[in-house]
Structure 1
Amino acid sequence: MNAMTEVQDPLVFTDNAANKVKELISEEGNSDLKLRVFVSGGGCSGFQYGFTFDEVTNEDDTVLDKNGVQLLIDPMSFQYLVGAEIDYQEGLEGSQFVIKNPNATTTCGCGSSFSV
């Protein structure tokens, strides 16, 4: 039995983000890649977000499918990301993945670290 968790809309993975991930996976030439989003200790506010590509889906990962790509979140990170929006934005300061997290009580200016 597979314990992999598929949850309906625990967070928002925008079309912009999914399409950018699809583009990056295509550039890598490896259709097995999935985007893993995680939270780790560190940063100027206590926690920080991280993004990496992963070929492996762990049994306890939450998996979101959008536009033909998969977003993976481990259980520890999931608790901090419920209700968040993962987007990809292009602006004057450059292009980047952005997480808008309603659980964060404090965020730093860089937008990649937060506290709860």
Structure 2
Amino acid sequence: MSWTLESPEGARLYVNAWNWRPTLTLLETAGVLDAETAALLGLNGHIPLTGQEAARIAEFLGTYLDGLPADGRVRLDGTVTTDPDTHELHRTDLDLNYSASSEWLRAFRDFCRAAPHGFTCS
């Protein structure tokens, strides 16, 4: 499963479930997104976010990334690891399959910074 984030200016960013779900959990836990918005963004619908919401995400991620190691990954439960992702499918603990890499979070932050009119998630 994957999502396309697209700004009215035509910028696009693609994300898979492995990165997107922990990103949404991180944003919800930090209070950047409310639970309903985070849940809707986890569906494959045409969900719009405003420029103000995009700016709030970018601001949060800018601060958050300052404390995240360059090789760090945020797991679905919010813990951070620097263990390399082996891309192994964990069948007994499915949550281990999900992690948002610092590289992905930087790309998402930059996308949000460059989306003054917001973006849609589909």
TM-score range, shorter chain: under 0.3
Q: Which structure: greater helix fraction? A: 2
Structure number with greater CO (CA < 8 Å, separation at least 6) is: 2
Relative to the length of structure 2, the TM-score reads 0.25
